[in-house]
Structures are given as structure tokens and as C-alpha cells.
Amino acid sequence: SKKLEINREQRALMKAIVDAYNRHQIPEDVAKKLLQDQYSPEENFLLLTEMATSQVQVLVEFTKNIPGFLSLDREDQIALLKGSAVEAMFLRSAQVFSRKMPTEHTDVLEERVRKSGIPDEFMTPMFNFYKSIGELHMVQEEQAILTAITILTPDRPYVKDPQAVERLQETMLDVLRKLCVLQHPQEQQYFARLLGRLTELRTLSHYHSEMLASWRMNDHKFTPLLCEIWDVQ
């Protein structure tokens, strides 16, 4: 029916977002390093810090390519990036963990995360989230649009014009809703399940700020970009 059909404009929007999502991937060298060096917690933390830094760079490039984002107020662009970075990174690394990498790489990455000085109480929710994302078997269009929806969340701190952000987010939500019905016709509530993951993401970002604090307590060093995006140091 007309209501459900993805129109030409929405198809162009989807293509722009998916191309941006795939164009900006974590550099091969960082992923390759994963498998080489030894397993000391310090070594693991350094590697994960490098990965996190490149994830932020990838996130910024992806965000700049979301149609309409660069026409938002400049300060609101920054507020949206800072407010959504952790959630977008959890989504991105969930895809890395659940599918993108070959299994043996995922196991090595999981091993390194588990041995990088992260307190156990953050490990469980983190890996539960990765598992719950994996079980959704999202197609890449859904992953890319869901990440764009997370970034375009109007109620982030310090956003001056939330209506402008809401208009962009609503366009994305409409495309995602139609896509879910087309890609998962047998699962009525698939769209609702996807949005439910965004709620789970907010809980994880609280864990993440506590993780940052516990790393800093143990005098772990971050890169300037990570300090800037999360206002540490």
C-alpha cells in the first residue's frame, strides 16, 4: 500500500546513510592489531583506547553525512555528537561483536575486553547488550538508520532547537518503520523491538561514565579526542 511503500526520497535518504555508515569503518590496522599483541591488561587497554578513538573519528564522519545534520545549529551539532557518542559506539561495536568480524576475531576482541581492567559489573550488561543486538539480525540499512536515529535524539543536554532535531529524527523513524515491515514481515513488533534497544543503550551510557571514572582512578590515560568528547581530564 502507499502508506508502507518506501518512496524515492526515502530510498535516497537510506542510500546516503548506508553509504556513509559503510564508508567510515574502523581502520584495518586497528582491527589487525587486535590479533597480534599479547594479553596484558595494559596492552589490552591501550588497544581498546585506540579502537575507541578511531570509533569516535568514524562516528564524526558518519554524522556529518546524515542528510540535514550540517544544516542544524553548529552548537547543537556538537551537543548531539557529545550526547550520543557512547550510544552510537555501543551500537557500532555491537555490530562488530555480533557479525562484522570473523568469529575467531570476535572471540579475541571479547577476550581483550574482558582483560582490560573493566570492573565485572559493567562487563555483564555490555555483553548482554551485544548478544541482544546480535539476536536481532539487523540488516545494514537498519543498523545505519538506527545509529542515525540515536544521534538525532532531540532531548540531549544543551540542545537549543530540539524541534529541528525532532524533524530530522522523525524522517528517519518513518523510513526505519517501513524497512522493518519489509525486511521482517513475519515479526510484527520488530520495529518496536529495535526502538527498545535504544532504551537499553541509555542505561549502558551510565555504566560507561562509571567505567571512565574507574579507569581514571587507576590512572589510565585517554587520547585528547576521547577527553574532548566525554569531557574528562
Ligand X SMILES: Cc1cccc(C)c1Nc1c(-c2c(F)cccc2F)nc2cccc(C)n12
- Interface positions with ligand X (CB under 6 A): 45, 48-49, 51-52, 55, 89-90, 93, 113, 118, 208, 211-212, 222, 226
Please check whether residue 89 is in contact with residue 63, taking contact to mean a CB–CB distance below 8 angstroms.
no
* Residue number with CB closer to ligand X (137 or 216): 216
Q: How many CB atoms lie within 10 A of CB 101?
A: 17
Nearest Cα to Cα of residue 77 among 67, 87, 69, 88 = 69
Give the residue with the Cβ less far from ligand X, 144 or 201. Answer: 201
User: Which is closer to ligand X, CB of 18 or CB of 211?
Assistant: 211
- Residue with Cβ nearer ligand X (89 or 144): 89
Provide, rounded to whole angstroms, the least separation between the CB of residue 230 and ligand X.
7
Residues in the chain: 233
CB-nearer residue toward ligand X: 55 or 171: 55
The cell numbers describing 63, all together, are 554524522
Which residue has 524497512 as its cell numbers? 179
8 A C-beta contact, residue 231 and residue 213: no
In the complex, least distance from residue 113 CB atom to ligand X, rounded to whole angstroms:
5
- Closest approach, Cβ 161 to ligand X, in A, equals 29
**What does 13-47 look like in DSSP terms, one character per residue?**
HHHHHHHHHHHS---HHHHHHHHHS---HHHHHHH
Which triple of cell numbers denotes residue 155? 532531548
Q: How far is the CB of 66 from ligand X (least distance, A)?
A: 20
Residues 182, 90: Cα–Cα separation, whole Å: 26
CA separation for the pair 156, 86 (Å, rounded):
12
Q: Which has the closest alpha carbon to 46: 120, 117, 94? A: 117
Smallest gap from Cβ 90 to ligand X, in A, equals 5
Residue type, 108: V
Nearest distance, CB of residue 5 and ligand X, angstroms: 36
Cell representation of residue 22: 559503510
- Among 91, 92, 41, 81, residue whose Cα is nearest residue 215: 41
Our CB check for ligand X shows the closer of 160 and 216 to be 216
Q: Which is nearer to ligand X, 51 or 175 (CB)?
A: 51
Residue 171 CB, shortest distance to ligand X, in Å, is 27
